[in-house]
Amino acid sequence: MKKRTFLKLTGAAGAGLLVAPFAGCGPSGDAEGVMAPEATPGAGEQTGKRPKLKLHEQAPLGYAYDALAPVIDAETMELHYSKHHAGYVRNLNAAVRKAHEFEGLHIDELLGRLNESDAHVGLRNNGGGHFNHTLYWKLLTPGGASAPSGKFKAAIDEAFGSTANMLEALRTAGAKQFGSGWAWLIEQADGRLAVTSTPNQDNPLMTQIVEAPGRPIIGVDVWEHAYYLNYQNRRGDYLQAFTDVLNWDAAAAVWAEGVA
């Protein structure tokens, strides 16, 4: 797949984070009938009485909870994936049910339509939480290259001078983010890579909200739940460890093709 800019991506009807769980759903011709406005809020599962409701789903982790130990311990991984991320997905689906104009949107497009209004708080926190963690698990996938190469490395070098400089900028952004949030490597609209950070579960695809919009390439969770069991207050040690175990094949794939 050809590399796309984030602007193109946000307008694309991609597949992956949004699925139609009911077999036999019409692909596009019956779009009006795909949603179920009167769907019961609060439940992530479907019942036989609720037809054709599209839900956001949590992708399988794809590796064992202890696969990243001792860098990230199994208990942290299990809580983070099965409680925190799962909660974001459940609450995102509940929020979408109350905001019908967001039903059926790919997560990228959903994030791009959010603004700072109170009405969007649930979608913002939980939609961001869903996207952000989906990227995070992918980047931490065991194995893969331990350094960037090819065109991806060239893009990093062009923006930062070296991979080491980029990683230092990423760790600094994570260390300076006050309270909970994320540090990011993004691709800006002009194609150039940059480092930024966001509070809470905000995401650079929230172009109407964040100061530095872009397409997320690398995302580092700096909420305490991501590291506290292993690193306590030593966020800097966790940031170093994260960048040490980053799967550069996964990062390059995100840069080339997007998160999902």
In the bound state with Mn ion, the residue whose beta carbon lies nearer, of 205 and 220, is 220
Within 13-42, which residues bind Mn ion (CB under 5 A)?
none
**Is residue 202 close enough to count as binding Mn ion by CB under 5 A?**
no
Q: Which is nearer to Mn ion, 194 or 226 (CB)?
A: 226
Could you say which residues in the range 117-176 bind Mn ion, by CB under 5 A?
none
Contact pattern for Mn ion over residues 209 through 248, marking x by CB under 5 A: ------------x-x--x----------------------
Q: Minimum distance between the CB of residue 221 and Mn ion, rounded to whole angstroms?
A: 4
How many residues contact Mn ion, by CB under 5 A?
Answer: 3
Which among 112, 116, 139, 171 has a CA at the least distance from the CA of 253?
139
User: What CA–CA distance (Å, rounded) separates 33 from 213?
Assistant: 34
Query: Are the CB atoms for 200 and 125 separated by under 8 Å?
Result: yes
Which residue in the block uniquely carries the two structure tokens 């991609």?
A: 14
Is the Cβ of residue 109 or residue 221 nearer to Mn ion in the bound state? 221
Q: Sketch the per residue contact string, 103 through 122, with Mn ion: x for CB under 5 A, - otherwise.
A: --------------------
**Nearest distance in Å: CB 199, Mn ion:** 13
The CA–CA distances, whole Å, from 58 to 5, 124, 132, 224, 260 equal 25, 17, 12, 21, 12
Shortest CB 80 distance to Mn ion, Å: 6
Closest approach of Mn ion to the CB of residue 113, in Å: 23
Q: How far is the CB of 84 from Mn ion (least distance, A)?
A: 5
Smaller CB separation from Mn ion, 78 or 157:
78
Minimum distance, C-beta of residue 240 to Mn ion, in the bound complex (Å): 18
Q: Given the complex with Mn ion, which of 159 and 226 has the nearer CB atom?
A: 226
* Residue 1 CB, nearest approach to Mn ion (Å): 28
Distance, in Å, from the CA atom of 249 to the CA atom of 214, rounded to the nearest integer, reads: 20
Which C-beta is closer to Mn ion: that of 76 or that of 188? 76
CB contact set of 178 (below 8 Å; sequence gap of 6+): 199
* Site of tokens 């409701």: 53
Closest CB to Mn ion: residue number: 221
Nearer to Mn ion, 131 or 223 (CB): 223
Residues that bind Mn ion in the complex, under the rule CB under 5 A: 221, 223, 226
